[in-house]
Amino acid sequence: PAAEQALQSFCGLAATADAEAPSAGEVAEFNAHLQTMSGTVVNPSADPVTCSAGLPTIAALWLALEGMGGADILMCSTAYGGSSELTDLCLTRENLRKSTFHIQGGASFNGSIEAALGALAADPASLRPTTVLFVEIPSNPDQKMPDLAQLAASCEAYQESSGKQLLLLVDTTFAPASEVLGRIGDLAPELGAMVFVSMSKSVSRGETTAGALVANHTPGSQALLHASREVAEMLDVTARQDQMLRLCRNHVGVEERCERAYENMVLMAGVLRGAVKTHTGHDMPVTMVGPEHAAQGFTSSTFSFNLPAPAGATPEVKAALAQRFVDLLTEDAERFKPCVSFGQDNGLVYCTVPATSTQGAIKEEDKAQQAQGGVQLARLSFPPAIDAPRVQARIESACAAIYA
Ligand SMILES: Cc1ncc(COP(=O)(O)O)c(C=O)c1O
């Protein structure tokens, strides 16, 4: 509607599009809900910063940090490709520096972070004033969960040994209602922490793109929030009226939508594992958020897996297997979609091979570590409502086809 209105004005027509705005009360309710879902106290003086999509939100934060003397950004080598690439683009600013930690395969989530923080702290003279530890919880694409107590302890130890402020920035896009800031606050009450969430998925039900920053109760995090808001306004990337309207009309119920999507995901992971076992005899591991973390609100509707190679398969067949499986599923375009996104409330199961889609910008050697036995990782994401018998039948027939 915002674009339509601009075109109407440009053509000299009456600007009838984009006339409706959310009320101040609806916006206040939305902001309070974002703070509650992120696990921090409702505080209108630190309202979340809402931008037109997830990535401009991150850009506003990085540029705000650059204006505050700079930052060392530590993020996962296999983080969402857009976040990785955007961060790399911002590194042309000499006040920003990025390093990575690795969590693919058998690597330990906490151990890798601890080692990377240790490496930074070993050279304190080279550090910028703020260190940002940017972590997707659960992780993309393999849905790993860190031990939060150990993570909080590592952040505190780093501040002590380096003498620098650390901001723990959590990307909660996969599980927006996990209240993760509250858990972190219980473990490390003084630690500066912030949530970044892409709301282009489950928060808006897919009705609009958007992204938000939510600060925890600490003064450092709130100061950075205010600086990010100023940068977002200056760059003109704050959410438009039509986006705010859609966010205000769709955010209610996201917790319950995520729970239903999680249940669908668990059900269909069982179907997939059963079908693979029938055809190959293998108990294929599936990486997903387990019931203990789901009960805490980390209800991600995504799982990923490396299909076992068919007996006697050539390297070419193995290399093509994950995409072939996705292609077979998505032949049923009414129930499956080849897409990197997730969380939308449209009855479609989103299927992708992250190495060639969401992780387009990730280094080849990092992506290669996700392959097993020559077969790349595949990822499926489930909506709150599915046609379960048909989805099950399609997963079973796709397995039958690749192992025929
Ligand atoms: C985990 C994660 N973070 C950030 C983003 C970026 O959000 P947006 O697409 O709203 O710019 C995405 C998008 O897919 C994502 O999956």
Closest ligand 1 atom number to CA of residue 55: 11
User: Ligand 1, atom 10: nearest CA belongs to which residue?
Assistant: 54
For CA atoms 131, 136, 142, 148, give the dihedral sign.
positive
Give pLDDT, residue 106: 83
Q: What is the pLDDT of residues 9-63, one digit of tens each?
A: 999 999 999 889 999 999 999 999 999 999 999 999 999 999 999 999 999 999 9
- 141 pLDDT tier (thresholds 50, 70, 90): confident
| Site to substitute for ligand 1 among 52, 55, 208, most atoms within 8 A of C-beta | 55
Which residue type occupies 87?
T
What confidence score (pLDDT) does residue 365 get?
79
In this predicted structure, what is the pLDDT of residue 364? 78
What spacing in Å lies between the alpha carbon of 382 and ligand 1's midpoint? 16
By DSSP bridging, strand 192-198 and strand 165-171 are parallel
What pLDDT is attached to residue 362?
Answer: 67
Tokens matching residue 400: 């039958």
- Distance from residue 200's CA to the centre of ligand 1 (Å): 7
The two most distant CA atoms of the chain are separated, in Å, by 67
- What gap in Å lies between CA 397 and CA 404, rounded to an integer? 10
The CA 201 to ligand 1 mean position distance, Å, reads 8
Beta-carbon count within 10 A of 94 CB: 9
User: What domains appear along the chain, each with residue ranges and CATH number?
Assistant: 2-250 (3.40.640.10), 254-402 (3.90.1150.10)
Taking residue 196's Cβ as centre, other Cβ atoms within 10 Å add up to: 22
The letter for the amino acid at 120 is L
For residue 130, which of 68, 57, 75 has the smallest C-alpha distance? Answer: 68
CA 257 – ligand 1 centroid, Å? 18
Judged against a pLDDT cut of 90, whether residue 295 lies above it is answered with: yes
Q: How far is the CA of 181 from the centre of ligand 1 (A)?
A: 19
Cβ neighbours for 227, distance < 8 A, ≥ 6 positions apart: 64, 65, 67, 68
Residue matched to tokens 């190495």:
355
Q: Is the dihedral of CA 6, 7, 11, 13 positive or negative?
A: negative
Short-list 270, 390, 295, 395, CA closest to 335: 390
Q: Residue with the nearest Cα to atom 16 of ligand 1?
A: 80
The answer to whether the beta carbons of residues 370 and 105 sit under 8 Å apart is: yes
Q: What value, to the nearest 5°, has the Cα angle with vertex 84 and ends 80 and 88?
A: 170
Span 78-96, average pLDDT: 93
Per-residue pLDDT, averaged over 235-246, amounts to 97
Tokens representing 83?
């976040």
Residue 368 above 80 pLDDT?
A: no
Atom of ligand 1 nearest to the CA of 209: 10
Q: Whose CA is nearest to atom 7 of ligand 1?
A: 54
E runs forming strands in 157-231: 165-171, 192-198, 211-215
Token representation of residue 85: 């690439």
**Contact in structure between 182 and 216 (CB atoms under 8 Å):** no
Ligand 1 centroid–CA 159 distance in Å is: 29
- How many angstroms is it from 98 CA to the middle of ligand 1? 19
- Which pair of structure tokens corresponds to residue 246? 């859609």
What is the whole-number distance in angstroms between the Cα of residue 79 and the centre of ligand 1?
10
Bridge partners for 341 per DSSP: none
Whole-number Cα distances in Å, 83 to 76, 317, 358, 363: 10, 31, 10, 14
Note the pLDDT tens digit of each residue in 161-187. 999 999 999 999 999 999 999 999 999
Q: Which residues line ligand 1 (CB under 6 A)?
A: 53-55, 80, 82-83, 136, 140, 171, 173, 198, 200, 209, 211, 341
Structural contact between residues 127 and 158, judged by C-beta atoms closer than 8 angstroms: no
Backbone angles phi, psi at 183, to 5 degrees: -65, -40
The CA-CA-CA angle for residues 145, 151, 154, to 5°, reads 155
Q: How far is the CA of 365 from the centre of ligand 1 (A)?
A: 22
Question: Residue 84 — very low, low, confident or very high, per pLDDT cuts 50/70/90?
Answer: very high
How would residue 369 be classed by pLDDT, with cut points 50, 70 and 90?
confident
Following CA atoms 212, 217, 221, 225 in sequence, which dihedral angle do they give, to the nearest 10 degrees?
A: 40
- Mean pLDDT (whole number) for 217-232: 98
Residue located nearest, by CA, to atom 14 of ligand 1: 341
- Euclidean distance between CA atoms 336 and 330, whole angstroms: 5
Nearest to 279 by CA among 150, 113, 119, 398: 398
Complete DSSP assignment for 34-63: HHHHHTS---GGGPPEEESSHHHHHHHHHH
* DSSP reduced 3-state for 106: coil
Q: Mean pLDDT score of the chain, rounded to an integer? A: 95
Of 49, 50, 61, 80, the residue with max ligand 1 atoms within 8 A of its CB, to mutate for a pocket test, comes to 80
Per the omega criterion (within 30 degrees of 0), is the bond before 354 cis?
A: no
Per residue in 325-353, pLDDT (tens digit) is 999 999 999 999 999 889 999 999 999 99
> Is 70 exceeded by the pLDDT of residue 381?
yes
Dihedral through CA 312, CA 314, CA 319, CA 324, nearest 10? Answer: -70
Which two three-digit tokens encode residue 258? 């995520």
Closest ligand 1 atom to Cα of 140: 1
